Amino acid sequence: ILNVEQSPQSLHVQEGDSTNFTCSFPSSNFYALHWYRWETAKSPEALFVMTLNGDEKKKGRISATLNTKEGYSYLYIKGSQPEDSATYLCAFLNAGNNRKLIWGLGTSLAVNP
Amino acid sequence: EADIYQTPRYLVIGTGKKITLECSQTMGHDKMYWYQQDPGMELHLIHYSYGVNSTEKGDLSSESTVSRIRTEHFPLTLESARPSHTSQYLCASSEFRGGHETQYFGPGTRLLVL
């Protein structure tokens, strides 16, 4: 059974705080790790696809790192803003013929103004 | 911004009714997906399609059925709705970009079966 775990489950920060959360995934048979952002009443939106150990990707104030050997990825938000409030989902894609995304439960972030 | 649409957004219906959840995309993507998400749970894949006339069951067993007669349209049908079908249903399509597949999601349908 492939498990993807995200922590913390929820997070409340003040505007301007920087924050980070974790996605843990199986370290064997790795193909790719996806991060999505899901705002309430909107569609999940792709943030990053990460494939190489040591990868670091950045989009504005949001960045992510990847460690495939130990099976984790961190998502960082610098200077959180209220519009960053959303659930951040990660999804693991295993190598092999029958590839499907295995999703975590997400980290729910609330940024207070 | 992705062009993938789902209707209805919200549906409250009685037990035993037949329902169809619509999903359409205008991006010409071949692969499409249906996910089910119960409160507090992960997204679970229930159906997917590689293209026209292709439908496959996902990891989570579902009493729903799907069809793919046109590239842009991937409706999901429940022949006889039951309270256990109450959930959120998300449709997605995908494209390969830079050697990797990215999924684009619709806004979801929240279904409540009484």
pLDDT digits (tens, 9 = 90+) for A11-60: 999 999 999 999 999 988 899 999 999 998 899 999 999 999 999 999 99
For chain B, say whether A74 makes contact (Cβ under 8 Å): no
pLDDT digits (tens, 9 = 90+) for A63-81: 999 999 999 999 999 999 9
CB-nearest partner of A49 from B40, B44, B100: B100
Rounded Cα distance between A38 and B70, Å, is 28
For chain B, say whether A101 makes contact (Cβ under 8 Å): yes
Q: Are the C-beta atoms of A94 and A102 separated by less than 8 Å? A: yes
For chain A, say whether B102 makes contact (Cβ under 8 Å): yes
Q: For residue A1, name the pLDDT band (cuts at 50, 70, 90).
A: low
Q: What is the least distance, in Å, from the CA of B42 to any CA of chain A?
A: 5
pLDDT digits (tens, 9 = 90+) for A79-89: 999 999 999 99
pLDDT digits (tens, 9 = 90+) for B38-95: 988 899 999 999 999 999 999 888 899 999 999 999 999 999 999 999 999 999 999 8
For chain A, say whether B70 makes contact (Cβ under 8 Å): no
Q: Is B79 left (phi over 0), alpha (psi -120 to 50) or beta?
A: alpha
Rounded Cα distance between B66 and B79, Å, is 11
Residue (of A38, A20, A14) closest to A106 by Cα position: A38
Q: For residue A95, name the pLDDT band (cuts at 50, 70, 90).
A: confident
Q: Phi and psi of B93, rounded to 5°?
A: -130, 165
